[in-house]
Amino acid sequence: MRIDVITLFPDMFKGPLTESILQRASDDNLIDIKFHDLREYGIGKYRQVDDKPYGGGAGMLFRVDVVIDAIEGVTEKCKMQNAEYKIQNTCLPDRQMKCNIPHRVYLSPRGKRLTQTRVESIAKKHGWLILLCGHYEGIDQRIIDGGWIDEEISIGDYVLTGGEIPAMVLIDAVARQIPGVLGKDESVQEESFSKALDRKKEYPHYTRPDEFRGLNVPDVLREGHHAKIEEWRKKNIK
């Protein structure tokens, strides 16, 4: 999957996306994440990207002309790169069509709430995401009304300073649904909110030692009776 992030703060993404599973997924060409500095599309000597809201009020808004230049510029630039990208393993044959059309997401508290079902659907349906991270007071509504955004996604009913952390949350959750991203010891089949668990929360887990300061591992899990373990786990999902 290809992911292009449009942000004023590309450096914020260093760390969360360059460690552990996500770094391995990049190294294995399973995901390809690129960052695009909105400032490069800014206006004038100071590369202005925002302006005061009509009607007054605190905070600044990303300008429609700047953001649309960025979305269209990134789309064109990446379409060409994607032609090459398809040749590699990163875009599996059944997804090649999907890699030509970006799914453009604006991270916003006003968007639809991100759930595991939505994450699975994004990972399955799309081979190319363009993520727009807002800042300050947000963005000019015409960016959405004009059809340049396909979906607004919120990571929860609270307000963060910018769309960068929500974008990281979305990237992490979607990436681990891509076949091959998780190692054989990790699985998305039977975990909290998965279909296999009826979208409920997973049962608790234990490892060694058997006893720690008076706290014991449930006997049933240590006894190794498969059917009984299954029954215990079923009983402990919620």
Contact positions vs ligand SAM (CB under 6 A): 107-110, 133-135, 137-138, 154-156, 158-163, 166
Task: Tell me the closest approach of the beta carbon of residue 140 to ligand SAM, in angstroms.
Answer: 11
127/163 with CB nearer ligand SAM: 163
All residues at 6 or more sequence positions from 56 whose CB lies less than 8 Å from its CB, including other chains: none
All residues at 6 or more sequence positions from 77 whose CB lies less than 8 Å from its CB, including other chains: none
The tally of CA atoms less than 13 A away on the side-chain side of residue 204 is 7
Task: Tell me the closest approach of the beta carbon of residue 137 to ligand SAM, in angstroms.
Answer: 5
Q: CA–CA distance from 111 to each of 90, 118, 150, 157 (Å)?
A: 29, 12, 11, 10
Task: Tell me the closest approach of the beta carbon of residue 152 to ligand SAM, in angstroms.
Answer: 8
82/108 with CB nearer ligand SAM: 108
Task: Tell me the closest approach of the beta carbon of residue 19 to ligand SAM, in angstroms.
Answer: 23
144/181 with CB nearer ligand SAM: 144
Task: Tell me the closest approach of the beta carbon of residue 109 to ligand SAM, in angstroms.
Answer: 4
Q: Are 164 and 191 in contact (CB under 8 A)?
A: no
The residues facing 168 across adjacent strands are none
57/147 with CB nearer ligand SAM: 57
The tally of CA atoms less than 13 A away on the side-chain side of residue 114 is 24
69/137 with CB nearer ligand SAM: 137
